[in-house]
Chains A and B, each alone.
Chain A
Amino acid sequence: MNDFLFYIIVALVKIVIIANMILITVSYLVYFERKISAWTQNRVGPNRVGYLGLLQPFADVLKLLLKEDIVPKVANKFIHSMAPFIALFVAFTTYAVIPFGPSITLWGKEIPLMMADVNIGILYVLALTSIGVYAITFAGWSSGSKYSLLGGIRSSAQMISYEISMGFSIAGVLIFSQSLRPMEIVIAQHGWMWNAVLQPVGFLTFVVAAFAETNRLPFDLPEAEPELVGGYHTEYSSMKFAAFFLAEYANMIIGSAMIVTLYLGGWQFPYVETFGFSPAVTIGLQVGAFFVKMGALLFFFIWVRWSIPRFRYDQLMNIGWKVMFPLSLLNLIWAAILAMIMK
């Protein structure tokens, strides 16, 4: 009984920490998105609200809270209000299986530094991110606007073409880890045996697929402003719009956390065991390594957004089916051969 209570409390503490971490990271991701866009365009960016504009994200949220919530007359009201919450739900539940550190021992009990050590963690992430597209498709369909509908359709078409190359790239990773458990995938990448080093092509296809999955430029066709006036969220306002916004950035964090876990060695700090630090410092360094890698990838996401123009729809399909899919298959064969040799 005492054990049971202990694990419940630990789980609650982890939920609170991770949920708040996501929210704060999202708000500052928006801030950095604006700052980095400003720097690339030789501007200054937000610098009025608070020191260096650091309170800007909170001002934005407050503004959105005070806005009127408009639902179009022809909208399907139930689905229209449900869609943003599906998006949020997916964005927040996916973190549950991403390990951000090794197991720690507290009061004689082992606690993994992740919400749930699920043995099919990768499948769980794939399943949930596939639900994520429903949010966008529902939002597009239920708004009763042609622009939104086009955005929703594009999103599902994009999803189908990129989920496949994503799945095959992940298969290459699984050959090495022999497990779907995220913790074991990370442990399999000890030292410099990072999957990004072993299978660079798979890394590339997965990163591209991650960009497409998170609807970031150059694959942001569902919300292409010049063509679709904002796409699936054209008819959303107030907090429902904010929910989509939040989900988009939370998805970006998931995307980079997944890339780190699958390809960049997760929380592994190469050869940290040989430095001879105390266990606590080692774990601290490893957790730090995870967040540094994630931060670098998030910067990369933003950096790409402000550098590369959007793909045309047919180009997107061409790349998805004719380039990424064969490449990920090739990578799978390469991974299999490499695994045979290394055994």
Chain B
Amino acid sequence: MSGTVPKKRLKDLSFWQKIYVPEIIKGLSQTLKQMFQPSFTMEYPEVKFDPPASYRGRPVLVQEENGIERCVACGLCSRVCPALAIEVQAGETEREKERYPEKFEINMLRCIFCGLCEEVCPEEAIVMSKDYEIVFTNRADALYGKDKLLTPIAKLQDRINFLRQYKG
């Protein structure tokens, strides 16, 4: 069998490499060294990962200090969403910004966390939060309405600063 297989790399190996045992000892000492290194494991429920500002977690709607959302229901996010996860219905108000979303729904089963909604938003009204713990036990719960999406701006300042620095 070995007659048909061309022998490769014969020249590259020195005598000590060819007898194999010293190389095994090298490999074993390497793993032994690693055994005494500290581990990188984050023990999740107790220790939680604190994402950097560039992290794209669950998309949320920005709520100003006065409790009103920034969104003007232009529908661009819904339009750009590649997974068709966002549904917006506009309504009219007496406020300075005349439009607001009567209904704003993100289907979290569809969302792929691409961040295009955030990128396209002219009002900086929808941003990606740092929330990565997204749990629901049935399909109806996966539709996140305004109650779950509206997030006070104080919590999102990190991401907004990041966007102002790097977006566009």
Contacts and interface: CB of A to CB of B under 8 A. Distances in A.
Interface of A: 36, 38-44, 47, 204, 303-304, 306-308, 314, 318
B5 interface: yes
Nearest to B43: A44
B31 A43 contact: no
A148 B66 CA distance: 68
Contacts of A36: 35
Contact of A38 (B1, B30, B39): B39
B39 A303 contact: no
B28 A303 contact: yes
Contacts, number: 41
Contacts of A314: 1-2, 5
A89 to B, nearest CB: 33
B2 A42 contact: no
Contacts of B31: 40, 303, 306-307
Contacts of A308: 24, 27-28
Contacts of A42: 34, 37-41
11 contacts: A39-B35, A39-B36, A40-B34, A42-B37, A42-B40, A303-B31, A304-B28, A307-B30, A307-B31, A308-B27, A314-B1
B140 interface: no
B134 interface: no
B28 A307 contact: yes
B40 A43 contact: yes
Nearest to B41: A44
Contacts of B41: 42-44
Nearest to A36: B35
Contacts of A44: 39, 41, 43
Contact of A40 (B24, B35, B38, B43): B35
Contacts of A43: 39-41
A28 B46 CA distance: 27
A303 B2 contact: no
B32 interface: yes
A314 B5 CA distance: 10
Contacts of B37: 42
Contacts of B38: 42
B22 to A, nearest CB: 13
Given A304-B28, A308-B24, A41 B34 contact: yes
A154 to B, nearest CB: 15
Contacts of B43: 44, 47
Contacts of A40: 31, 34-35
Contacts of A204: 21
Interface string B1-33: 110010000000000000001001001101110
Nearest to B24: A308
Nearest to B38: A42
B114 to A, nearest CB: 31
Nearest to A218: B24
Interface string B128-154: 000000000000000000000000000
A25 to B, nearest CB: 21
B5 A303 contact: no
B35 to A, nearest CB: 4
Nearest 3 A/B pairs, CB to CB: A39-B35, A307-B31, A44-B41
Nearest to A323: B20
Contacts of B24: 307-308
A281 to B, nearest CB: 33
A306 B31 CA distance: 8
B27 A307 contact: yes
A319 to B, nearest CB: 9
Q: Which of A40, A44, A307 has the most CB of B within 10 A?
A: A307
A214 to B, nearest CB: 17
A47 B5 CA distance: 48
Nearest to B35: A39
A39 B28 contact: no
B1 to A, nearest CB: 7
B2 A318 contact: yes
Nearest to A322: B2
Contact of A39 (B1, B5, B30, B34): B34
